[in-house]
Each structure stands twice: as C-alpha cells, then as structure tokens.
Structure 1
Amino acid sequence: MYIMHAGMISAMALQRAVAIGNGKGGCGKSSTAAAVAGLSAAADYEVVLVDLDPQGDLADELGVRDHPDNDGGDGLLRAVTAGVPLPKPIQARPNLYLVPGGPALYDLSGVLLSRQSRGQSVSDALTNALQPIADNAELCIIDTPPGDVLLQNLALTAARWLIIPTTVDTSSIRALHNIADRVGEARRDNGDLEVLGVVLWNIPVAAKRIRREARATIDQVLGKGTTMFTTTIRSAPAAAYEVRVQGKLVHELAEAVEGAEPFWKALREGREVRTPGTAPALAAEYIQLTDEILTRMAAAEADAGAGAPPMEAMVP
C-alpha cells in the first residue's frame, strides 16, 4: 500500500462524491481524477470514477478504450435522461470502477435544456443516476467537462466536495471566476457543496515565485478562505503522454522504471525520490496530493460528527 489516510468516508448519500472541475480545458482535471482514483483504489478504497466528459479521456488513462463494456457514455446518458439504472461499471483495476463517458454525452445537455425550457427541474438528474453506485462505494470521483455549464452544474449538485486543478496562465486564472459562479449556482440546490481545495497543476519544479504569485491570485479570485493543497503537480509532459499511450496510471509507470528503486520506498523513508525519469517523481506528488485529499475529507467528517474512524496507516 502507498498512502497514509485518515479513515474511511462515511455512508451518507453522495457524501462520498468529489467533483474535479474547472471552467477551462488543459488544467489537469482528467489526469488528476485518474491518478487520485487509482491511488485511492490501491489504498483499498472502493472507488467509482465517473467520466462526464464527451471526450471520454479517462478510458485512455485507464487503458480501457477498447473494453467491450465501454459504451461511449450511452449508459450514463440513458440513466440521467430516462432514469434507467446505470450499466455495470467497467472494473479498470482492483477496487476501481469506471462509468465511461464519450460521444453519447454530447446529446445530454440538449435533452436537459429542452426539459428546462418546459419548466422541468433537471438539477438532481445526475444525483439520482449515481446514488445507487455512490452509496456502495467509499469514494465517487466525477470528472467534469470544461466547457459545458449544464453538465458542470449537474456534477456540482451531485457532489459533496469540489477539487479545482488549475494552471497559472492568465486564461486559467480567469476560468476560476467561471467555476466560482458554478459553485454559487449549484449551492442553490446543494447546500452541502464545499471546495475541498485548489491544486496547482503543470508547475515547473523550481518555480517558487510562480507558486507564491499563483496562490495570491487564487486568494483574490476565490477568497482567502479557499484552501490550497500543499502539494503541487509538476510539468511532466513525457510521463503524461505515456500514461495515455500505454493506458497505465502514473504510479504504475513509476513502478515499471527499469532498474529503479521502488519510488514508494524513498517516500516512506522521507527521502527525496531520485529514480530516473519523470514518472516516479510525478507519482510521488500524486501520492502526496491523494493523501491530502483523503485526510481533509475524513477530518471534515470528524468535525461534523460523522464518526470517521481514527487515522489508519496504509503503509507499514
């Protein structure tokens, strides 16, 4: 096992649901969703990963694009619009189940907008579709599309938590205003929604000044009460490319580095990861981010009196 975590997530309806969202593409949403889901599953959480994006990129991240049960989002479309049960998710890894997205979801907004125009409420459509599987999972991660406001709102209405990955270019910072608007709209239907944190993504390793300035800007846009994750995710285009080409998660690539010390060994012992290539160092950052996410969720539940168990060591 790889991670220290702060106990299991409680069994309230959709209280296990975490949306990964930003109003702009290229900010690391799918990469973050896949890496956190994979590492949580490796730490013995039962994880459902929901791909709400018509591009369906999570199938590439997990290497299941050609899986016979990859329906391109058709099952999710029918569950949301017709109320039929979701098809059985794809078991992509031990403990990790994917509800695939894909081109069928291009029709989803149109159907729901038509219903809205007739005065029908659609805000809980995704919540109702996901509830049966969310209730049977310890963690439900929803990857949202960047440009579809309605689908973003559906995800935020279903989720207890929002994680916002962002890069630090000007257009990405502007997009934070958009996701802040989405949060405000979703809270009209989902008063429990909270921003779990913002993660700086695609950041050069030595860019300390950039990190400081980005944190200051995010405080300005989202408010000083918004929590930043301590962990930032480095720029590692070669590793990101290999993830989708090979269909392996970044920690799986790291384990496969020929002749390398297992990346988790140095991490356990508090030493710097010095294995060759970018995958092991990137994997170490995603491990630290996953640890922060699970710890924050369990701590929030404990503060709310949800009865989360005490800190459990996932590594010896």
Structure 2
Amino acid sequence: MVEARLASKAVYEDFKLRVFTEPQQGATYDDLLRVATTAESAGYDAFFRSDHYLKMGPVSGEPGPTDAWLTLAGLARETTRLRLGTLMSAATFRLPGPLAISAAQADQMSGGRIEFGLGTGWYADEHTAYGIPFPSLRERFDRYAEQLEIVTGLWGTPSGETFDYDGTYYRLADSPALPKPVQRPRPPVLIGGAGKKRTPALAARFADEFNLPFVDMATAADQFERVEQACTAIGRDPAELVRSAALVVCVGKDEAQIARRAEVIGRDVDELRANGLTGTPAEVVDTIGTWRQRTGITRAYLQLLDVSDLDQLELIASEVTPQLD
C-alpha cells in the first residue's frame, strides 16, 4: 500500500492540512493558543476556528465562548507563519462595515495572514441565547449577499476613493473604505455549504475558496460541480477556486489509540471512519488520496474536537504530512 502511494505522489501534490477548532464546545483563548503554536511548529498550513457563541450537543461549553475575531487578532501577534481564519463567521453576528474593519485590522496585525470565511448563520439557539436577531433563511441569504458585496467592495476601493452602497438592508455613503488589509486586493474569501442554487452562485462571484463541511465524497463532488457550473455561467474560470473539505480527525498509531481518542470526543470509530479522517496514519493518507481523486480538494481542515490532544496533531504532522509532500 505504501509503495502504491509513493508511486502516485501526484495525487497529493500541493495538498495542505489545516487545523480547525470548535471552541464553543469548551476552550479558552490559552487553549487555542496552544493548539495554534503547536500547529505552527509542526508545519501545518493554517489554524482556523468556528464562529459560534453557544455549545452544541451534550457538553457543558464551559468556560464559555470566545469571540472569533478577538481570538484571531491575538493569534496574529503570537504566531509568525500560520494562516488564520474562520469557518465560517456568521453574517448575522456583525454589521458588514465593522466586520470589514476587524478583519482588515487582523490582517495588518498578522502581516497579511488572514483568510475570511463568511456564511449566512444557521444556529438559531445561539442567536436566542445572546439576543442576536435571526431572520428567515431567505432574508439571511439576502443580507449575506449584501455583506459579501460590502466587505469586498470596501477592501477593493482604491486608496483615496470612497465607497457607496445602496442595498435593501445596508446603505453606505462616502465611506473612506479604511483600513486596508495588507493582502491586496483583499484577504482570500471562503464560502461554503450545501445549498444548491444561491450558494454556488455567490461562490462564483465572491469566493477564492469553496469549502464543504462534514459531507461524504459523493455529496462533495456534486456540490463542487454546481460551483463549477456557476463559475462557467458568469465567465469565470472554475480553476481559480480552491476546493476544500472540513473533516473530523481521529488518528492513532494503533486501534487502541484510535478507540481512546474516539471515546474522548464521544464518537463511534466505525462512524468516524465512514465520515472523517480516521484510522492509522497510513489509512488517513489513503483517505486523503481518495478525496483528492474524487473531489479535487487540495486542502483538508482537520476538525480537532479535543483541543487538549496536541499529541494527535504532532502524530499527523510526523507520520501523515511527510507522505503528502
């Protein structure tokens, strides 16, 4: 099996592993800092986090949520190489102008390492818990589309010029469109999700990367095809979009270690093998190769549900990553 992988190295060409955390499940900033600095020293490409204010499932969520953009700003000053971003910030949480300012400032603080993931917002309970309006799905998509136009418009406005926008939900007049991010014309924009019409259309217009979270390969392949068709429909080269997937990770040197890690995160090993990157390093390398061949992804976001398990990150870095180079 190893010889087969080595004989087909092109399958893994330019493939990147990124660390993805879910701190609403229970993590402090210092917990996330340890994950990020471990990821950086181990050679991972990026550290991403969710943007949620309420825990999910049968966990306490203590000590409570951390704000995504405050976290990224802090990590911007405490890392040097790691790309930093969100999967995904909720458009319902922030007004587009202040969000553009926050992300641009974080990009400045990091020296140009921010990646901007934005979604509609979907988790109704966290909106109720913290007093955040949660309109209908149609309105959330309409607001989301306007936010994408505004944030990218502000960043793309040449210095010395102003930005105006007259939408249904947001209006900007004579905005100086400042501050500017370091990355020009803007930080990479990530869009994702399984919506069959509006999501691919918005990705074709605005995205630099399209991400699918926690779906099977067939579903991913179908959605990537829709995005490709949406790009073609507006005259954009689909090859300009990076394809990626977020997958729960549970890697161990042997079956006993895999089972222990699955138990800690409350998941079944067989289910994880079917739906994530689970198994020995050799198994995971093979799974990545299959994902790459069937869907064309070039990045995998490793959902680390146990943020204290830094040994797992180091195991993947030492025994999986070298086989992708």
TM-score with structure 2 length normalisation? 0.36
- Specify the structure having the higher radius of gyration (Cα): 2
Determine which structure has the larger strand proportion and give its number: 2
Could you tell me the TM-score, scaled by structure 1's length? 0.37
